[in-house]
């Protein structure tokens, strides 16, 4: 491998780490143990004695979706291997381990040279034995770099000074350095350090990526890594499969695969850029995590390829929406468009939804939008409800299409069928994971993310299928996408919105935001994309509702003054009216920067939407 190629690949890793949603593999030792290697054997030596077994572990993680493969060299320094009588083979073990990972990774994944701690204590660090240990780790790093790793991963260090020292010593090699500290069960370092303080020290030492691995399950790793996101450097979280529990004499990791999927999404929403697994995790855990990262991954050429062989034209303008139904025409002509969310029932009776839609239409609301299994719940098909609404009331609804429940093939059939039924206004989303709903063991498919689904629909609109082959006729879908103005990683949210526009999105429907400064910032920054924006509004029902959104829904932090207003209004029995007033204030403040409003009334109270929009729309004569 040439130095030029290695440098290019290493720089690509840095770029991907900054972009986010980059997935490391899981535990190597756990897999070797499960595949017959006893605990009294040296796991690193297995790279020599059973090379194909190690290679298969790498392959299983790669096929599960891992984009970074770590070498089987965690304890492969001369001092540790000497304890197994392998002090003359340590270089060969490192070299072979790198080659095995490279043969699987090819150009489609990164190879990280794994370096574990030496085992010295803080007191020993300044003594001769400490210097000897540091030298052994340094020599191991030299061999890994010479063998061609794309980055170094210093992992599971519990002596912070040892980790700092290694980062400082390895920095001159000009190779990406990932520095991972292991925290105690209480979320503090061995000397009581707070996570942010640990991150700051590793940043100052020269690490390119900081974070934590081992020590506990996803809940602990969330607790110790998210504070580090305040620093200007990518953060990696690699959790164990929980803490092992002794069950019938066996050590069992109880955090299941679906649990990891949910926490992966939480970590990414909180600003963590890189994720992976540690002790107890398996390819099955990584596969679930890959589903979560796929929702937001920018996917460069060095990782996964887009499955849609079509690139939409980039010279689109609003006039092209003129022939996309009443909604498209309204957007093209600059009319103020309003949509209210009216969701399907859990049963068969649509009377309530039809009555609500009729009232909203009479009030002057442009259309309604219907979610696709919101919060991973079981509800009537939104396509079935949309057709009833369309046929009985003449309202042309917007339906949500999420990537959670249908395979690549199933999505295509679903969408073509919707078009035949006259359902052509779509908002494309990735979808909440099944863990959020009442059936957590249901499989989340996520063959596509929202960007790929937009590209697929754009291909249909151009008269070609996903492979680029001509169809018998083109579709005429109007395509909306979502955006989160209060996303923690705001710059990434803007980049992703641009990617959605380039994939074919024709207008935007935002999540609710209660801070007017965040709203204005987003609307001004998104203006350059040239997409009509419908601002999301969710009138607060009461103080408890406000607290729930503030504490439990990512991206929906409610300012203290709004919480105080809701608390005081509730004490007077006026909470609902105050929630409407707050929503109206937000709409008035943003009116000149938006082309419409997207109202999400709480608990199905559609009448609140009418109150929010009163004066902004004109009632229809009945």
The CA-based dihedral angle spanning residues 600, 604, 606, 612, taken in that order and rounded to the nearest 10 degrees: -40
Is pLDDT at 86 greater than 60 in this prediction? Answer: yes
CB burial of residue 518 (10 Å; 0-12, 13-18, 19+): middle
What is 3-294's CATH number, 3.20.20.330, 3.90.1150.10, 3.40.50.720, 3.20.20.20? 3.20.20.330
User: What distance in Å separates the CA atoms of residue 17 and residue 26, rounded to the nearest whole number?
Assistant: 17
Taking residues 385-411, what's their average pLDDT? 93
pLDDT category at 205 given cuts 50, 70, 90 is very high
Q: Is the pLDDT of residue 256 over 90?
A: no
Band of pLDDT at residue 306, cut at 50, 70 and 90: very low
Question: For the residues 152-178, what does the mean pLDDT come to?
Answer: 96
Residue 34 contacts residue 284 (beta carbons within 8 Å): no
Long-range pairs, 356-359, Cβ under 8 A, ≥24: 356/604, 356/606, 357/389, 357/393, 357/395, 357/397, 358/393, 359/606, 359/607, 359/610
**Distance (Å, whole) CA 501 – CA 531:** 8
Which residues, including other chains, have CB under 8 Å from residue 593's CB and lie 6 or more apart? Answer: 520, 523, 524, 527, 533
Per-residue confidence (pLDDT) for residue 252, from 0 to 100: 47
The answer to whether 3-294 and 324-483 have equal CATH topology is yes
Q: Which of 250-264, 480-494, 538-552 has the lowest mean pLDDT?
A: 250-264
* Contacts for 81 with CB less than 8 Å, ≥ 6 apart: 42, 44, 45, 75, 87, 89, 90, 93
Per-residue pLDDT at 260: 84
Q: What residue ranges in 248-305 does DSSP mark as E strands?
A: 250-252, 274-277
Confidence of residue 309 (pLDDT cuts 50, 70, 90): low
Please tell me the predicted confidence (pLDDT) of residue 304.
Answer: 41
**b/e for 2-36, b at 16 or more Cβ within 10 A?**
eeeeeeebbebbeebbbbbbbbbbbbbbbbbeeee
pLDDT tens across 116-148, in order?
A: 999 999 999 889 999 999 999 999 999 999 999
Q: What is the pLDDT of residue 236?
A: 98
Longest dimension (CA), the chain: 90
* Nearest residue to 458 (alpha-carbon basis) of 510, 500, 519, 518: 500
pLDDT at 246 over 70: no
Share of residues in the chain with pLDDT > 70 (%): 90
Give the tens place of pLDDT for each residue, 26-63: 999 989 988 988 877 899 999 999 999 999 999 999 99
Task: Assess if CATH 1.20.120.450 describes domain 324-483.
Answer: no
- In whole angstroms, what is the distance from residue 177 CA to residue 206 CA? 8
| DSSP secondary structure code for residue 348 in this structure | S
pLDDT reported for residue 311 = 72
Give the chain's mean pLDDT.
89
Average pLDDT over residues 458-464: 94
Q: Give, to the nearest 10 degrees, the angle between helix 51-64 and helix 283-294.
A: 30
Cβ–Cβ < 8 Å for 416, 477: no
Distance of CA 439 to the CA centre of its chain: 21
Tell me the C-alpha distance between 80 and 78, whole Å.
Answer: 6
Q: How long a stretch of residues is the chain?
A: 622
The contacts of residue 130 (CB under 8 Å, 6+ apart) are 120, 124
* Model pLDDT for residues 504-521, shown as the tens digit of each residue: 999 999 999 999 999 999
CA dihedral of residues 497, 262, 65, 107 (deg, nearest 10) = 50
Which pLDDT score, from 0 to 100, does residue 300 have?
A: 41
Domain regions of the chain by residue span = 3-294, 324-483
- Model confidence at 431: pLDDT above 80: no
Q: Is 137 exposed, middle or buried (0-12, 13-18, 19+ CB in 10 A)?
A: buried
- Of residues 499 and 244, the one with the higher pLDDT is 499
What is the 3-class SS of 365-430, one letter each residue?
CCEEEECCCHHHCCCCCHHHHHHHHHHHHCCCCEEEEECCCCCHHHHHHHHHHHHHCCCCEEEEEC
Q: What is the pLDDT of residue 330?
A: 95
DSSP-assigned beta bridge partners for residue 210: 179, 235
Write the secondary structure of 536-547 as one string of H (helix), E (strand) and C (coil).
EECCCCCHHHHH
Bridge partners of residue 400, in order along the sequence: 427
What's this model's pTM, rounded to 2 decimal places? 0.66
Q: Is the pLDDT of residue 303 over 50?
A: no
Position with higher pLDDT, 550 vs 71: 71
Tokens of 600: 């999400």
DSSP, res 66: -
Q: Are 344 and 381 in contact (CB under 8 A)?
A: yes
> Residue 7's pLDDT band (boundaries 50, 70, 90)?
low
Q: Is the pLDDT of residue 414 over 50?
A: yes
E strands, 7-53, in order: 22-23
Q: Which position has the higher pLDDT, 549 or 247?
A: 549
User: By CB neighbour count within 10 A (0-12 exposed, 13-18 middle, 19+ buried), where does 85 fall?
Assistant: exposed
Reported as a pLDDT band with limits 50, 70 and 90, residue 433 is low
Res 453 pLDDT > 80: yes
Question: What angle (nearest 5°) sits at the alpha carbon of residue 138, between those of residues 133 and 143?
Answer: 130
Give the containing element (helix H, strand E) for 264: helix 257-269
* Mean per-residue pLDDT, 448-468: 89
Q: What is the pLDDT of residue 249?
A: 46
């Amino acid at each position: 491998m040439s130095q030029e190629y290695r440098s290019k690949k290493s720089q690509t890793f840095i770029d991907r780490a900054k972009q986010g949603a980059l997935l490391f593999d899981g535990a190597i030792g756990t897999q070797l143990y499960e595949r017959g290697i006893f605990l009294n054997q040296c796991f690193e030596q297995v790279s020599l004695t059973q090379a194909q077994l190690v290679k298969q572990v790498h392959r299983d993680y790669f096929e599960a979706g891992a984009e970074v493969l770590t070498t089987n060299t965690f304890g492969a320094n001369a001092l540790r291997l000497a304890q197994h009588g392998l002090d003359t083979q340590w270089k060969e073990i490192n070299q072979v381990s790198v080659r095995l990972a490279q043969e699987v990774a090819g150009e489609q994944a990164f190879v990280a040279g794994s370096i574990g701690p030496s085992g010295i204590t803080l007191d020993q660090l300044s003594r001769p034995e400490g210097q000897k240990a540091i030298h052994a780790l340094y020599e191991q790093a030299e061999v890994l770099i010479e063998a061609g790793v794309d980055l170094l991963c210093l992992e599971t260090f519990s002596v912070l000074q040892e980790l700092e020292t290694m980062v400082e010593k390895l920095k001159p090699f000009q190779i990406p350095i990932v520095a991972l500290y292991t925290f105690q069960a209480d979320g503090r370092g061995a000397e009581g350090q707070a996570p942010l303080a640990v991150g700051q020290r590793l940043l100052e030492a020269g690490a390119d990526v900081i974070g934590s691995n081992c020590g506990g399950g996803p809940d602990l790793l969330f607790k110790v890594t998210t504070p580090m996101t305040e620093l200007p450097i990518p953060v990696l979280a690699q959790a164990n499969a929980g803490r092992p529990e002794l069950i019938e004499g066996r050590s069992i990791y109880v955090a299941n695969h679906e649990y990891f999927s949910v926490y992966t999404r939480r970590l990414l929403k909180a600003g963590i850029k890189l994720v992976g697994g540690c002790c107890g995790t398996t390819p099955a855990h990584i596969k679930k995590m890959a589903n979560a990262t796929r929702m937001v991954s920018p996917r460069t050429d060095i990782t996964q390829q887009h499955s849609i062989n079509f690139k939409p034209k980039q010279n689109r303008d609003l006039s092209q929406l003129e022939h996309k139904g009443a909604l498209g025409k309204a957007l093209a002509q600059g009319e103020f468009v309003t949509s209210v969310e009216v969701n399907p029932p859990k049963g068969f009776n649509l009377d309530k939804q039809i009555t609500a839609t009729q009232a909203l239409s009479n009030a002057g609301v442009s259309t309604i939008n219907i979610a696709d299994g919101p919060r991973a719940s079981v509800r009537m098909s939104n396509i079935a409800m949309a057709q009833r609404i369309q046929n009985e009331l003449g309202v042309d609804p917007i339906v949500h299409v999420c990537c959670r429940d249908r395979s690549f093939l199933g999505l295509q059939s679903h969408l073509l069928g919707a078009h035949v039924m006259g359902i052509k206004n779509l908002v494309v989303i990735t979808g909440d994971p099944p863990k959020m709903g009442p059936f957590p063991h249901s499989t989340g498919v996520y063959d596509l993310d929202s960007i790929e689904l937009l590209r697929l629909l754009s291909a249909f609109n151009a008269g070609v299928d996903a492979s680029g082959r001509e169809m018998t006729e083109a579709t005429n879908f109007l395509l909306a996408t979502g955006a989160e103005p209060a996303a923690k990683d705001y710059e990434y949210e803007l980049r992703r919105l641009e990617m959605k526009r380039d994939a074919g999105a024709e207008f935007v429907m935002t999540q609710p935001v209660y801070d007017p400064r965040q709203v204005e910032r987003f609307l001004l920054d998104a203006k350059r994309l040239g997409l009509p924006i419908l601002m999301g509004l969710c009138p607060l029902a009461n103080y408890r509702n406000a607290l729930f959104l503030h504490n439990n829904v990512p991206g929906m932090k409610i300012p203290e003054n709004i919480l105080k207003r809701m608390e005081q209004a509730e004490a007077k029995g006026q909470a609902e009216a105050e929630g409407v007033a707050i929503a109206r204030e937000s709409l008035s403040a943003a009116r000149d920067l938006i082309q419409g409003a997207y109202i999400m009334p709480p608990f199905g109270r559609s009448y609140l939407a009418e109150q929010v929009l009163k004066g902004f729309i004109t009632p229809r004569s009945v």
